[in-house]
Every structure is written in structure tokens, then in C-alpha cells.
Amino acid sequence: MEVPHPDDGPHDGPHDGPDKRPDGRPTDPAAIAPLTALPSVTARVLAFVAIAAAGACGGLIGWSFVGLQCDGSCSTPKSVGAVVGALIAALGVAVVSVLGLRAMGEWNRLKEQDRR
């Protein structure tokens, strides 16, 4: 025995429009796509670039900071300073980027939800 679909009901003809199936459900994938809070690819790429740039700048700052305080051969301390500076800067920008991407995705989701 076939269970009727909840949207099944009287129809004016074989189709209720060009974007409907005979049973009344939409055929357009955008009409039935789930809502998502995922930010755009461009926004995610820009966030990645910002994190990488901050890491590079933090590395340079860490290298210079240790270099100003060290005399003689200081390649190991300078390298440690560069790594620590890069990590701190990249993690800081990553936190801000994630918060910004989440907020932007949520705003877009709410905007799309209001349109439906």
C-alpha cells in the first residue's frame, strides 16, 4: 500500500507549474536545498591569506626581537623567536578570522531564511 505524500492533494492539472513535479513537490534544487551557515569560498580564502600573512609578519617580528637582544652567533635563538612569533600572530588572526567567518555565515543564513 502506497503512503501518500503530505503535500499530495488536489491539483489543477498534471503539473502545478514548470517548477513542480506532478505530486506538487518543487523540482528546483535551490528550493529544497538545506540552509547553511558556511561562508563563501572567497571569504575563506581571504581568511587563509590573512592568517598566512600574519604568521609571516609575526615570524619577522620574532626574528628581529631576538636579534636585537642577542650578540654573536644567534641563529638558533633567532629561529626560535621567529617560530614563536609566527605561531602567536597566526593563532591570534585565526581566532579573529574564525569568529568573523562564523558571524558572516550566520548573517547570510538568517538573510536566506528570511527570503524563504
Between CA 46 and CA 82 the distance in angstroms is 23
Q: Examine residue 106 and state whether it is found in any structural domain, yes or no.
A: yes
Q: Examine residue 1 and state whether it is found in any structural domain, yes or no.
A: no
Q: Examine residue 54 and state whether it is found in any structural domain, yes or no.
A: yes
**pLDDT grade, residue 19 (50/70/90)?**
low
What pLDDT score does 32 carry?
60
Q: Per-residue pLDDT tens for 68-93? A: 999 888 999 999 999 999 999 999 99
What pLDDT score does 90 carry?
98
What pLDDT score does 22 carry?
67
CA distance to 3, 34, 35, 64, per residue, from 25 (Å) = 15, 15, 18, 64
Q: Examine residue 72 and state whether it is found in any structural domain, yes or no.
A: yes
Q: Which structural domain, as residue segments, surrounds residue 72?
A: 40-115
Question: Mean pLDDT of all residues in the chain?
Answer: 81
Q: Examine residue 9 and state whether it is found in any structural domain, yes or no.
A: no
Count of the separate structural domains present in the chain: 1
